[in-house]
Amino acid sequence: MGKMFNSAIVEKFVGKETPFYYYDMGLLQQTLKSCKDASSKYGFHVHFAVKSNFNKRVLSAIKEIGFGADCVSGGEVSRAIETGFTNNDIVFAGVGKSDAEINLALDNDIFCFNVESVHELEVINELAGKKGKKASVAIRVNPNVDAHTHHYITTGLDENKFGVNSWDLPKIVDTLKASENIKFLGVHFHVGSQITDMNVFKSLCVKVNEIQQWFEERGVTVKVLNVGGGLGVDYHHPDEHSVADFETYFKIFNDFLEVKPHQEVHFELGRALVAQSASLITKVLYLKHGIKKDFVVVDAGMTELMRPALYQAYHKIENISYLDDQTKATKPYDVVGPICESSDCFGKEVELVEASRGDLIALRTAGAYGEVMASFYNLRPGIRSVYSDEL
């Protein structure tokens, strides 16, 4: 895949109100297709983690390719239904589902609830009973596997709030057996996000094998093995590695997961499907010469892209206003936004083509956990989006 930007594209940005998310719909298609091809080879099912991007155009593209939707709120379940995902393709996960959200999902006969505690299982059983329905569930098991990623996005360790810990599993089996309005589908895992060390997924497979056997030994048939998401992307080389390595990823599960003939393997990928396909485009407002450094003040802030402020996450930053001029000098800048917080900084000592007021700056790899995490802090105007096929 080539570069996301060239001067013809950037020319079309001129005059548009900034900041905005720019979606490269061709790259999105290519990414989805690559994932589809690699997963179908093994008959794996992919649900898209809607939390990573609930943009309607993005969701439509994902629905079209045939993936399901992994939702974590009533809002996401409704959005998935509005987009046209069929109820049988919708999974509802999350550690704190409200009664109203559970009822919404029951009313829509979704495929599966991913249940995170004994208590939640009891509540879903009760609410399903009131409706005269049977709720299909998978139990999210905390496998105590270290994802070797940022501690804020590690989820599969005993100390994390997610999933049922091993010592609670006997109670889960008892509750399942006593719950008339529950249909047990299988087990669910998710160990963390932005995982680039493929050994983590091998360790996960070993745990899944152990745990499914544990269930089967207790007379509980496991039909669905849901191994979650977490495949990372290359934030440092967005043009060179513009599509995640789905081939290697799915092959690991094919090689290391014990899948019996009656079982289905499910994935919940978010980031790897959408991150690379969007950039946040912002404009240089001011240049400021400090004593020790120079600042570029841009018109996007942590309100549009929260990841750098929240996780010190790296997003490649480029001045895209001089793509045809290779002779322009570069220099280091701190790239900061307009929000009244010191953490409102997209990057320190970023080597950029020398900037002027009005230049367009791209923050790359912003398609996952970008616009969905935007906020109205400082009464910001909300997110705008521009799509490559509508330019």
For residue 298, what are the CA distances in angstroms to 82, 241, 339, 360, 372? 35, 27, 10, 9, 20
* Total of residues contacting ligand LLP (CB under 6 A): 22
Could you list the residues known to form a binding site for pyridoxal 5'-phosphate, using ranges.
230, 268-271, 369
- Interface segment toward ligand LLP; rule CB under 6 A; list 118-126, 269-277, 316-324, 382-390: 269-277
The answer to the question of residue 142 lying near ligand LLP (CB under 6 A) is no
What is the C-alpha separation between 247 and 41, in angstroms, rounded? 10
Contact with ligand LLP (CB under 6 A) among 19, 229, 308, 347: 229
Q: Is 340 a catalytic residue?
A: yes
Q: What is the closest distance, in whole angstroms, from the C-beta atom of residue 292 to ligand LLP in the complex?
A: 30
Q: Which residue has the tokens 């109100």?
A: 17
What's the CA gap between 186 and 224, in Å, rounded? 4
The pair of structure tokens assigned to 96 is: 């704190």
Annotated binding site: 230, 268-271, 307, 311, 341, 369
- The distance of closest approach from Cβ of residue 246 to ligand LLP in the complex, given in angstroms and rounded to an integer, is 12
Which of residues 156, 270, 308, 337 is near ligand LLP by CB under 6 A? 270
**Cα(209)–Cα(100) distance, rounded to whole angstroms?**
35
Nearer to ligand LLP, 33 or 161 (CB): 161
CB neighbour class for 328 (10 Å; exposed up to 12, middle 13-18, buried from 19): middle
Among 259, 271, 275, 227, CA closest to 91: 227
Our finding on whether 307 is near ligand LLP (CB under 6 A) is yes
| End-to-end CA, the chain | 20
45 binds ligand LLP (CB under 6 A): no
Which one of the listed residues 71, 112, 340, 345 is annotated catalytic? 340
Q: Coil, strand, or helix at residue 147? A: coil
Q: Tell whether the torsion through CA atoms of 332, 241, 20 and 270 is positive or negative.
A: negative
Mark residues 46-85: x for contact with ligand LLP by CB under 6 A, - for none.
---x--x-----------------x---------------
- Check binding of 193 to ligand LLP (CB under 6 A): yes
By beta-carbon proximity to ligand LLP, the closer residue of 277 and 321 is 277
Q: Where are the beta strands (DSSP E) in the chain?
A: 20-23, 45-49, 68-71, 90-92, 112-115, 135-140, 182-188, 224-226, 264-269, 278-289, 294-298, 317-319, 330-336, 345-353, 360-363, 385-387
Min dist CB 313 to ligand LLP, Å, is: 6
Q: Who contacts 218 (Cβ-Cβ below 8 Å, separation ≥6)?
A: 173
Q: Cβ 388 to ligand LLP, closest distance in Å?
A: 22
- Figure out which of the listed residues 112, 227, 269, 323 binds ligand LLP, where binding follows CB under 6 A: 269
Question: 350 with 236: CB under 8 angstroms?
Answer: no
Among the listed ranges 99-107, 227-235, 252-260, 341-349, the one in contact with ligand LLP (CB under 6 A) is 227-235
| Environment class of 357 (CB within 10 Å of its CB; exposed 0-12, middle 13-18, buried 19+) | exposed
Query: Which segment (35-43, 61-69, 83-91, 265-273) binds ligand LLP by CB under 6 A?
Result: 265-273
Binding status of residue 191 toward ligand LLP by CB under 6 A? no
Residue 315 is a binding residue for ligand LLP (CB under 6 A): no
Contact set for ligand LLP, span 2-21 (CB under 6 A): none
How long is the chain? 391
Cα 225 from Cα 189, distance rounded (Å)? 8
Respond yes or no on whether the N-terminal peptide bond of residue 261 is cis (omega within 30° of 0). Answer: no
Stretch that binds ligand LLP, among 23-31, 171-179, 203-211, 225-233 (CB under 6 A): 225-233
Among 93, 200, 211, 298, binds ligand LLP (CB under 6 A): 93
- Asked if 277 is part of the footprint of ligand LLP (rule: CB under 6 A), the reply reads no
Our finding on whether 369 is near ligand LLP (CB under 6 A) is yes
Strands 264-269 and 90-92: unpaired
Active site residues: 340
Binding region for ligand LLP (CB under 6 A): 49, 52, 70, 93, 153, 155, 190, 193-194, 228-231, 268-272, 307, 311, 368-369
